[in-house]
Amino acid sequence: MPVTRPSLTDSYACDTNNSPRGSMHFIRRFRIPALFCALSVLVCELISRPFADMGICDDGPYILVAQKLATTGHIVYNGWSAAMLAWQLYLGAAFIKLFGFSFTTVRMSTLLVAVVLAFVLQRTLVLAGITERNATIGTLALVLSPLYLILSVTFMSDIHGLFAIVLCLYGCLRALRSETDRGAILWLCFAVAANAICGTSRQLAWTGVLVMVPSTLWLLRARRRVLLAGAAANLAGVLFILGCMVWLKHQPYTTPERFAFSFSDIPYRHLVLQFARFFLDFPFLLLPITASFLFAIRGSRPRTIALVCGSLAVFIFLAIYPSPLRDHFDSLLEPTIGDWVNVTGGYVPFSPGGPTFVSRGMQILLTVVSLSGLISLFVSFFHRGHNQLVIDASPAVSWKQLAFVLTPFASAYIFLLLYRAATAAHDGTGMIFDRYSLGLLLVALVFLVRYFQDRVQPRIPSASVLLVIAMATFGVALTHNTFALYRARATVAAELRAAGLPDTSVDNGWEYNINVEIKQTGHVNNPFILSPAEAYIPTTPPPAGPCQLFWYDFTAHIHPLFSVSFDPNACYGLAPFAPVHYSRWLAGSAGTLYVVRYTPTVKP
């Protein structure tokens, strides 16, 4: 029997039937659910104690650029960034001016954006026709995920890029729902301006202006005035983007994207396997929403249940049983990419990684829950008849409009990721990381929550709230453990410096080495720098040995005598320096870093 879905205007009333009218008006007026989402991010981050006096992944060089901007008033790149960074650099520089320089101070500018983003995301989901309760749970599923929490307290460009995309989507949805031409035009201008400006942090976010806004204009083409004004605004946004790209190309010590390479040299098999792992991460990263689809197969025929269980059994067998297929994947178990969210419980710059945080049994459990929800989603497609809900007349954005706005955007986003992966594989400079998924996770979140609400049941089950709490707990622990490790590395560096050893004589992981190189010469010795032409100096490879300096050519001034390791027997054995211990929440034991000899005869 069909069930009526509540209208958007009554969405919160549906979820709080017993609440007094005055309370509901207060909640709607002051956007209490959205504020709760924003506050939840802030509380989780503060609990995790996210401070460390060194760079994390790429953000160390970015922070030094922000410091230079705060000091000189000019953006001066240092040979590491392919991203433009402009918007976030000015925000980081403003925090430096207000609170003084430190790595943590600059990273708090990203936390501010992450908190505001959580608020806007909840309102965006409501605009997409999702009830307040479901929009709140959906928002928390993303913003309290381990990936979002850890990136929100770095100075990486990923959160800023997602912010630009969400603002653009919010403006487009407001334009579609606007009853007046003037309102629609203003919201389109907002979408273009917000995406163009905030997208200067991460160029991939400009797919909002380039794809999302034109898709919205096509839906509004019957309103001639809106179409002409919106097209003019969008053209201005495109010209702004072109101007930014030209400006960036002529800046010294940048590494602009390359748009030409031989397709015959691309390892296609490697790319296919890499993207398979990339998309397999999605059900885990949105676990509270993915798992809710298990409710979609309640009451299904035994044959359907057997299909779900059989598919899971085959996948788990392939994931844990030694086979040629498994050899091509680093892991078929969640988390599959294992870059920022991994089995060691945080971003780890050393190879091999640190002690295990997520056991094999827990990986299997996470994989079972994630993929069973995903398979149940596919099964629900074939059982729409008895689950179909009656949509009443409401101002919510229709499925057709959502698909037309988000599908071309997602397609363009995936195409650019494919190109980026092909370039990285061709150059041997990298791979596809889990943080690249944020823009696509947004699209998946909107479609999954709206589909569940419209085709499965009106309310996301309360069990999903428990999964939100579980994922948030994991995210807090992951964030804490990552920063605890980096604080330990900074302590090791200070100990060696106190012993009279210069930073150039220690291999403390590639991010630390990169910042040391920048402080020595002002820029990284990056072979992809185009201007000035003489910036890169070819470096002789170090002699073969048990220790190998990662990216030695990028850090030409690093000549290590000692190295930092999780293993006291690494390289040429333990050096006469005290080990440094660091806390690991939800783990069985504390972590330990050792100083080991990089060469066989070195003396402290």
- The pLDDT tens digits of the residues spanning 425-445 come to 655 555 788 999 999 999 999
Q: Is residue 523 part of a domain?
A: yes
CA distance 421 to 429: 10
- Domain C-terminal end among 209, 228, 254: 254
pLDDT tens digits for 61-83?
A: 999 999 999 999 999 999 998 88
Give the global pTM. Answer: 0.92
User: If you count them, how many residues does the chain have?
Assistant: 604
Give the three-class secondary structure for 228: helix
For residue 130, pLDDT beyond 80: yes
Instruction: Name the residue range of residue 522's domain.
Output: 499-597
How many CB atoms are closer than 10 A to CB 168?
Answer: 32
Contact status, residue 535 vs residue 562, Cβ threshold 8 Å: no
Confirm whether 214 is domain-assigned.
yes
Can you give the pLDDT at residue 9?
44
Report residue 149 CA to chain centroid gap. Answer: 9
Assess contact for 11 and 126: CB atoms under 8 A: yes
pLDDT class of 316 with cuts at 50, 70, 90: confident
Closest listed residue to residue 274, CA positions, set 340, 328, 325: 328
CB neighbour list of residue 462: distance below 8 Å, 6 or more residues apart:
none
In this predicted structure, what is the pLDDT of residue 224? Answer: 95
CA distance 163 to 185: 21
Number of domains forming the structure of the chain: 2
Compute the mean pLDDT over every residue in the chain, rounded to the nearest whole number: 87
Residue 525 domain-assigned (yes or no)? yes
Strands 3-5 and 389-391: parallel
Distance of CA 9 to the CA centre of its chain: 32
Q: Which comes out higher in pLDDT, residue 50 or 455?
A: 50
Q: Could you tell me the maximum CA-CA distance found in the chain, to the nearest angstrom?
A: 80
Note the pLDDT of residue 318: 73
pLDDT value for 1: 41
Give the model's pLDDT for residue 210.
Answer: 97
Cis upstream peptide for 532 (omega within 30°): yes
Q: Give the mean pLDDT of 307-313.
A: 79
The pair of structure tokens assigned to 203 is: 């160029």
The three-state (H, E, C) secondary structure of 46-109, written as one string: HHCCCCCCCCCCCHHHHHHHHHHHHHHCCCCCCCCCCCCCHHHHHHHHHHHHHHCCCHHHHHHH
Token reading at 597: 């000899």
Of the candidates 531, 521, 537, 525, the residue with the CA atom closest to the CA atom of residue 252: 531
Cα–Cα distance measured from residue 192 to residue 214, given in angstroms and rounded to the nearest whole number: 10
Report how far Cα 464 is from the mean position of its chain's Cα atoms: 22
pLDDT at 323: 62
Distances (CA, A) of 240 to 186, 192, 199, 210, 310: 18, 10, 11, 11, 53
**pLDDT value for 338:** 82
Does residue 191 sit within a domain? yes
In the block, residue with structure tokens 């970015």: 62
Q: What mean pLDDT comes out for the span 199-215?
A: 96
Nearest 5°: the CA angle 539, 550, 89 is: 90
β-strands 591-597, 562-565: how paired?
antiparallel
Q: CA-CA distance, 148 to 129, in Å (whole number)?
A: 24
Q: Give residue 541's identity as a one-letter amino acid code.
A: P
Q: Among 34-48, 197-211, 290-304, whose mean pLDDT is lowest? A: 290-304
Q: Tell me, what amino acid is at 355?
A: P
Dist. CA 88–CA 66, nearest whole Å = 8
Structure tokens at 138: 């959906």
Q: Which residues pair with 389 in a beta bridge?
A: 3
Q: Summarize the confidence of residues 564-593 as an average pLDDT.
A: 92
In the prediction, which pLDDT does 14 show?
45
Share of the chain above pLDDT 90, in %: 62
Confidence of residue 387 (pLDDT cuts 50, 70, 90): very low
Q: What is the pLDDT of residue 339?
A: 86
Q: Which runs of consecutive H residues, i.e. helices, occur in 428-501?
A: 438-455, 463-498
Residue bearing the bigger pLDDT, 440 or 305 = 440
Distance CA(579)–CA(570), nearest Å, equals 14
Q: What is the pLDDT of residues 22-60, one digit of tens each?
A: 555 556 666 899 999 999 999 999 999 999 999 999 999
Domain end: 254, 274, 309, which one?
Answer: 254
What gap in Å lies between CA 181 and CA 237, rounded to an integer?
Answer: 20
What is the residue type of 385? G
Q: What whole-number distance in Å separates Cα of residue 82 and Cα of residue 581?
A: 35
Q: Do 554 and 525 contact (CB within 8 A), yes or no?
A: yes
Residue pLDDT, tens place only, 146-195: 999 999 999 999 999 999 999 999 999 999 999 999 999 999 999 999 99
Distance CA 422, CA 268 (A): 8
* pLDDT tens sequence across 407-418: 999 999 999 988
Closest CA relative to residue 267, chosen from 416, 425, 430: 425
**What is the sign of the dihedral through the CA atoms of 292, 295, 301 and 305?**
positive
pLDDT band at 89 (very low <50, low <70, confident <90, very high): very high
In a domain, 146, yes or no: no
Rounded average pLDDT over 390-416: 83
Question: Quick check: is 405 in a domain?
Answer: no
Between the CA atoms of 14, 18, 22 and 24, what dihedral angle is there, to the nearest 10 degrees?
Answer: -30
Instruction: Please tell me what DSSP assigns to residue 339.
Output: S
What is d(CA 435, CA 151) in angstroms, rounded to the nearest whole number?
8
Residues 6+ apart with CB under 8 A from 173: 124, 127, 128, 397, 405
Cα(508)–Cα(154) distance, integer angstroms? 19
* pLDDT above 80 for 383: no
Q: Is the pLDDT of residue 460 over 90?
A: yes
Cα dihedral value 227, 87, 517, 250, nearest 10: 50
Taking the C-alpha atoms of residue 285 and residue 291, their distance in angstroms, rounded to an integer, is 11
CA distance 395 to 8: 7
497 pLDDT higher than 60? yes
Q: Which residue has the tokens 């800023």?
A: 160
The confidence band for 13, taking pLDDT boundaries of 50, 70 and 90, is: very low
Q: Which of 191-205, 213-227, 252-266 has the lowest mean pLDDT?
A: 252-266
Give 360's pLDDT tier (boundaries 50, 70, 90).
Answer: confident
Cis peptide before 560 (omega within 30 of 0): no
The answer to the question of residue 227 being in a domain is yes
DSSP code of 574? B
Could you tell me if residue 573 is inside a domain? yes
Rounded CA-CA distance 549/570 in Å is: 13
Q: Which of 226, 254, 282 is the last residue before a domain boundary?
A: 254
Residue 477's Cα: distance from chain center in Å?
17
- Other C-beta atoms closer than 10 Å to the C-beta of 423 total 17
